[in-house]
Amino acid sequence: MLSFLLTRRVGRNKEDGVYSRRGRRELLSVLFALSMVLVVASACSEKVALLEERAQAYWEARVKGKVEQAFTFEKPGSIEQPIYLKKLSTSPVIFTASEIRSVREKDDEAEVELQVQYLLPGLSRSVSSSMLDKWVKIKGQWYHLLPLAGDDGTSSEERG
């Protein structure tokens, strides 16, 4: 298509080989449309990738027991750091693995569906269950939302 626009001549112009203005306009329109499609496509995939990357990093920190690192992903002002650190550090639930199953994003809110494995006191092997993690975008950055408003930073599994 582009080669056709680049080499197309319309009738005889003042000089042989001079391209019509219409051909140039068509070429510019096609190039502009292609560039817009690429910009929109990259912006859409970047949003999901950034959210998915942050969710993955958050759960890696939780699985590795890096509570202070996990706190940096929490929504600012949602819980005081000392309370968060104490609750997660003393929780009887130990997450051993996590896997993101899906990401659903709508405006500045999102849900990340996970499959998690964790150890509970008194059990000889890990338990697996699915979870729905909520995230919110603030000033272009995604933050983890605690499971319930006013919650103490632990999941329902950790609360028992």
State the amino acid at position 124 in one-letter form. Answer: S
d(CA 116, CA 85): 21
Predicted TM-score (pTM) of the model is: 0.64
Is 100's pLDDT higher than 70? yes
26-40, 64-78, 139-153: which range is least confident on average? Answer: 26-40
CATH number of 36-159: 3.10.450.50
Tell me which H or E stretch contains 61. helix 21-64
Mean pLDDT of the chain: 79
- Confidence check: pLDDT of 95 > 70: yes
Measure CA of the first residue to CA of the last residue in the chain; give whole Å.
63
Instruction: Please report the pLDDT score of residue 77 as a whole number.
Output: 94
C-alpha to C-alpha distance for 144 and 93, rounded to whole angstroms: 19
User: Does pLDDT of 120 surpass 80?
Assistant: yes
